[in-house]
Structure 1
Amino acid sequence: MTSRVTFVSPATSPSLRQARFYDGDSIDEIGAARARAAAGPLSAPARAVVSPGVRCRETAAALGLDGVPAPDLAGLDVGRWRGRTLEEVGAAEPEAVGRWLADPGWAAHGGESVRDVCERVGRWLATVQDTDGRTVAVVEPEVVRAAVVHVLGLPPASFWRLDVAPLTATELSGRAGRWNLRLGRPLPRSDTASAD
């Protein structure tokens, strides 16, 4: 039996465009239109799950997916930095930002560490490893990074070296305790999609 998981990153939102730590904002009109354009060609999965964040739920809905919330696939909790731009945090706490980017076990911002999110996503992957059929998971970009770190056995320090563009698919297929990876495929667009 082969299990397939397609991670879809959310459509754009103001926080994403402003390099601001996610604070629960909605996807923007451009992102919503692009997600709706990809909805037709996206083949129906056996199951759909979604990160609890607003932009993931809205992206799933725009894609025509009725996703079940998956708390284990929540984005990285950045504690007191939530809603602030990286530039603001870097100006106020330059040493903390440097340590956060260099040390995957550090979480003095009051949230969770990169290592924690990688382990949490790895545990979720273990629960779907023996599930037949395809699962589509609309998740935050850091969840995609954590999944890639986990399935390839990369050191958690490589987490920040992985870029995840909005509305891209990262595909995993696995059996017998081993995953294969296909990175960053753009979601298909229907022939009726308008140019942005």
Structure 2
Amino acid sequence: MVARITLVSPAVNAALRQVRFDDAPLDESAARRARAAADALPPHEVMLTAPSERCRGTAEALGLDAAVVRELRDLDVGRWRGRSLDELAQEAPEGIAEWLADPAVTPHGGESVVDLVDRVGNWLESWSGHGGRILAVAEPAVVRAGLVHALAVPAQTFWRLDVAPLSVTELSGRSGRWNLRCGRPLTAAE
């Protein structure tokens, strides 16, 4: 049986605009954009969301009664939590450079990109053979990790994948063989 997994990235919020390693609620403008896009969601039987406030708020604005799934949580950046990339680039440029170059390192003391890819890959494989349509609101890092796993590309590819706010990434397949349909914006029908 083929599983169809649709990953929806959350609407933009202050933390995303500031490139800050933090969670924050959606502002009214972002929630309005998500509500307007709700009718564009593909068909689904299972609704899930990452535990972050941003993802839960997006799921709610999309009208989803989504179960919170811990495996979909964002990359744990340890000591960098609450800090902006600009701040860290000035204070710890070597750590940032190392982190962006080597997906196995954790200069922040949190989770490595390799560990994130493994975690999300295990979650993805757990749905293999489900045969239904799963929709999950997930952080951009989780979407990128899922793509790295599904396409069996090197973990260094993680930083080369852009995931736009309120975009849809669709994976279909089963156990170790996934196909990708990416980059479709989640927008209201014209």
| Map of 1:102 onto structure 2 | 101
TM-superposed CA distance for 1:130, in Å, is: 1.2
RMSD over aligned CA atoms reads: 1.1
Amino acid at match of 2:147: V
In 2 relative to 1, CA 145–176 (structure 1 residues): closer, same or farther, beyond 3 Å? closer
Moved more, 139-148 or 42-51: 42-51
For 1:40, what is the secondary structure of its paired residue?
helix
| Map of 1:88 onto structure 2 | 87
TM-superposed CA distance for 1:175, in Å, is: 3.0
Identity %: 55
Total equivalences in the alignment: 190
Listed as ranges, the matches of 1:159-170 within 5 Å are 159-170=158-169
| Map of 2:136 onto structure 1 | 137
> Does 2:7 correspond to 1:16?
no
Amino acid at match of 1:150: H
Aligned counterparts of 1:95 and 1:114: Cα–Cα separation in 2: 17
Contact 1:37 1:189 in 2 (8 A): yes
Listed as ranges, the matches of 1:54-93 within 5 Å are 54-93=53-92
| Map of 2:174 onto structure 1 | 175
TM-superposed CA distance for 1:164, in Å, is: 0.4
Amino acid at match of 2:129: D
For 1:165, what is the secondary structure of its paired residue?
coil
Aligned counterparts of 1:188 and 1:92: Cα–Cα separation in 2: 39
Moved more, 94-103 or 28-37: 28-37
| Map of 1:7 onto structure 2 | 7
Amino acid at match of 1:135: I
TM-superposed CA distance for 1:2, in Å, is: 1.4
When normalised by structure 1's length, the TM-score is 0.93
Contact 1:60 1:67 in 2 (8 A): yes
